Structure 1
Amino acid sequence: MRTRYAIAALALCACGASSAFAQDADVPTIERMRMGPMVAGTYNMHDGAFNTYDGILECAVFDKANSLQWLAGYLFDIPLSSSVGLSPRLYYWKANGEFVTPNPNQVRVAIDEQTVVPLQTEHRLETSLDYIGLDVLARWSFASPLYLAIGPTVGLATRAAYEQEETIVSPSGITFANGESARKIIAGNFDEQGTLSTRRELRIAATAALGVDIPLSPRVIVSPEVGFAYGFTNVLTSFDWKVNMVRAGVALTYALGDESRDTTIIAAAAPDVQAPTPVLAFDVQGRRADGTTQPYAEIVLVEEVVSDLIPLLPYVFFDAKSSDLAARYRGISSDLVSTFSEEQLTDSTIGVYHDLLNIIGSRLTRYSDATITIQGCREPLDDVGSSDALSSARASTVKEYLTGIWNIAPSRIRVTARVLPEEASNRAIEDGREENRRAEISSNDPRVVAPISRRFTTRSIDPVAVAIMPAIQHGESIASWDLGLVADNATPMYTTRGQGAPNAAMLWNLDRDAVGRAFENRPGGRINASLEAVTTDGQRLGAQRTVPVRRIVSSRRLNGQEVRDSIIERYSLIFFDFDTPRVSDFNTQVIGTIQQRMKTSSSVTVTGLTDRIGDEAHNAELARKRAQSVANAIRSRIVPERMGTVGAGENLIYDNELPEGRMYNRTVIVEIATPSEL
């Protein structure tokens, strides 16, 4: 239909043009060489079968798409005779397309407790294809002023990028994890998608065009034209994907050469030569930590979340016959107590334990009504020749640190002494006797000896810097310039300015924390880069680019395995009764916290461990039973999506040469993996 309308319009133009030629004897002949700009609207027809690829999975398969775009360029008409000539054209063509395809993989979702329906989604792919094209056409004026042009076309793809999203079609009211009915799946350049090896192909096509020449003056001719280009080659080497094009546009040409004129010489003033207008443009590249360069810039921010609940072992261990604090217990000076904070404890579990006395001192300062009891103990087989005075001295050492460093009132600390602890370790072996040489801390306020809650985030970013590469033409008249990068939520990210033309590359070193704050609680977005310049005569110029940002949230399991798009919360339970899987009252608070933090969408792993004391097979079975007991206690309130138990036995995760390491090895670790809500 569009083609018939275009041909009819050309016929009317031809009639008008014939009349114009008949009425104007000064019209330039067709034998003159002509040149001028051209512009056209294009109807792009994408055909083939191709897919996008995120480095791991095939995202979708697309086949057909049509879109309206444009091209602009320059043409030459070179006459070879009165009716035949050459018509080369050089132009820039936007060959974008928008593909839509239904998702063949349907899953079933619950819209309420009793209804499960299929989830229908569709994939939408917006492609950005930019070509520099060259038509070399033979031109035939078969019925002047009508002409026909036909010949080959070659095109160089300067850009082949895409952005893909998935949209829920039905049922209504269902959203993805981002709370919306659409989510972005992937974006980037086709030749940079994952591990797929592909590249842009040189476009080879055949072009035919029908047009009419309409003179506006003896030298200026306007030429409406319609045409069709059929592509023989694919867009990319890895896919059977071609683009054909119907175009309708106009060219404005100027006829060169001499014509009959008055040769009388007339003195004329010298022409006013003006400096060309500057052309402002720039490119964006990524610089990685290893010094390599990305030909494009996509910022990937990886946030690793650590969430632990560490039980506080309220024991201070001593060397044989000694009441001195071991050097491994971390001490501070009294003038630094105001700066101590549990939130700053990012060390290992044993490292946190070695701040035990500072943690107790900080909590006694916070809870002014709390009191503690310190009970000193000794091991008669190791502390040979000692008496209860050694037990008292050990308790007093702990008290003196709290009163002297933390300024805790002595009346709030009660000191007692006994020989062996009430729950003594195995005295027949050296490890057990070492554990009996200790001072035990208890409190009337459970908050004083409550577990340590830690949650912090470490960020990494790639690339580590973004390079702004100016490409300025005729920059001699530029007086000043400004460069600004702003996140899509209006957060300023980077600014710089200068005088004259910005010829040198500008490097923005990325601050991973600043980028993290700008894109917090969302899967990513864009950073808009804007380069503006002012010429010496006050003219303002501008150019813009966008830098995509992708945010990934991850956590690590106990075994070091990285889990993406989920948060791992880790809880440790200690103080199981000797040689029994029963969950002790000491762990009741931790079990309650675990139940409160779980969701039905959570995946839970319960791992039981023991120390090196005893038979290895027996320890493995005991660890399994303890893990199962904890799992049963958790299920009493909420049943997660998936729960597994592991009896790791003597899989030592802490230093068994230390008594506190062995105590912490007698543990059950609960890991809750909950999908993150970006």
Structure 2
Amino acid sequence: MEVKFLRFVMIKSVYVLAIINIFFTYQLFSSNNEENFLLGTKYGFSVLYTNNFQAVDMRQLPSVWDSIPRTASGSSNGFNVGAFYEYRMTDRTSFLLRGFLNYNIAQIEGTVPEEVISNGLPAEFNVLHKIKSDLSSIKFEPLIRYRLFKEFSLFGGFNAGLRFSQMFEHKKTLLGEQGIFFKDGSQIITGLDKNIEGKLGIQASLVVGFGYDIPVNFNGQYLICPEIMMETGYSDIASRLTWDMNSVRFGISLKYSENPTIKYEIKEIRRNRDSVRIVNIERADIKKEFLEKGRTFITSDTILTEKYRIITNTLNRVDTLFYPTKSVIKDISISERLDNGKVDLSCLKVYAMASDGSIEYPKKELYIEEYHSTNIKPLLNYVFFDESSSKLSSRYNLLNEFKARRFRLEDLSNLSTLDTYYHLLNIIGKRLQVFANATIKVTGYNAGIGEEKENLELSKKRANVIKDYFVNIWKIEPERIMVEWKNLPERASNMNDADGVEENRRVEINSDYWDILSPVIINDTLREVTPSQVRFYNNGGTCYNIDKWSLEVNQSGNSLIIFKGENKMPERLIWRLYEVNQTLPRNESPVTFKVQINDYYGNKIVSKEDTIKITIKTLQEKENGAADDKKIDKYSLILFDFDKSELNKENQKILDFINEKIKKSSKVLIEGFTDRMGDDTYNKNLSKRRAETVASKIKNTKNIIVEGKGENELMYNNELPEGRFYSRTVNITVETEIEK
């Protein structure tokens, strides 16, 4: 095969590939169907079989006087073994860098007529010339991969290799009958053209080809890619000799994808709910209201997503509430029982609940004791967004430039853990001002479902919103903030659960500088209350006509907490004294509470005021007395991955700090918690494993109690993604006696 013909074939192949590319691109953009494809950075290794086609200009060999034909050709087989890295630049294009070992012994044969000795006389016979060279090398191959449709892709690029050997061999053999010899009397001559050597320089080739990624497992994290590549060489193989080589490679690549597009089977979820609507009708012929139940009927709604089919069966009923004609509107005290039965709040009772979650005390009394304390509030480095939105939620405390200049970390001492978290951006902004050499990375993500699926532009906007806040409000230099945007987070929450989908709509802030995201450590007075909750019960009131209701708790005229709402009042309201520390009573004056209800008729109904007794033991009283005192330190570990109990490096640093504070006489209580996602029993065991993992790292004391609370005692509001993350926690309470 002539060299020009081989190059002609390669050039035509490039043209054919270009035409195929245009055709499939047109088909892709003319189709209205969305196609799934696998994304993410990939790693792997390749094994390829190589078929090499070569041609040599025989006239350039010193040992050949003349050659017709002028070119000798041949083929050889080899193989490539190597590894690669693939980085996705856009949804369709990727950059691929491959490094491999290329084994190839090239050999060419050509027949040339030559004058020899036959039976003692000069004669012309054909002589077979064999040329051999070792072309084995280490190659590096940068390629651009362009996805034509689904996972069928076009590759284009080049490779450059460094040869191991200069080996070049040339021998010739007589073809003919016996009695024919070269002029030196032999029939085979080796070691010809010793002035020709294989070149050790860079060997470069142009590469084009096709490949197709085939998922091996369910979510496409592992793949096999069969591929075919064609390459044409553009470097000399030997000195003083025109030797061209073109190759076709066949083989497979085994790949691992860091962040694949997860493909789910459609799962069916069935839900049942009740919908009861009440219609009010005024009648003059009755003296007391009564409820007439309507006919029950069932409706079914189906929502279909790419992951699951949700079927909701609703039991519907429309009841009718008949009430007598109202003639007088007045304020009514709860002490005046209503004859028409509109509202009955006489059963309102107050219970105090112990911190273990299992005991209720009818006696309305709270005992508060003050202790010296160190409190660690960990920072969750995630900022969550509403669906399809890049606007910061109103839950986060956002400052203007004037307030940012006045912001002090010390002002966070009286805030709860979640309220401290809502200052996350301000804490990081302040610390970036203090640690001028620190940098951060802001990465935006989307939920990977519905309108957010593959919406990298939304991920980018979310990340830039965070960066703009640091730059515009906190005056942080833009070059100190690196911004990235991706689809799903690397440690994504469960996409089969609505809570998990909500948690994936976020921005993550990371820094190699520990002080930027380190916990908020507060040395303060701990005010511990027993019992830790007060429950307000409304168990029996038939409150069909409530428009608005409120329950207010006061001390000495100051409001401690207010519960309020519309329509039916809940049967139970909980005042969580351990969670909102700032609402604790500040002195021993009785705490009072009362309920106010406004009904649809204009009545305002106010209950009689009831009281809760308060007893406080202050630090000063303990210091002035002879009683022993103790120091209570409270620490929390967060950012346990979903369904995991292993410690990450941030929690390990917190544990190192805690171990420095623990003495041999210290008593340590370790309590594990989870969020509401998943099975109750499984979550209780998971929380126990988390607590045991932490307990295994505690030093200096053996007085350790380990408990797994599971989701029976949710630490924070699990309607919010940040509340669920903070609930995946282990709380450590360390009690140490203070020596007098």
| TM interval, short-chain normalised | 0.3 to 0.5
Of structures 1 and 2, the one with the larger relative CO (CA 8 A, separation 6+) is 1
TM-score by structure 1 length?
Answer: 0.40
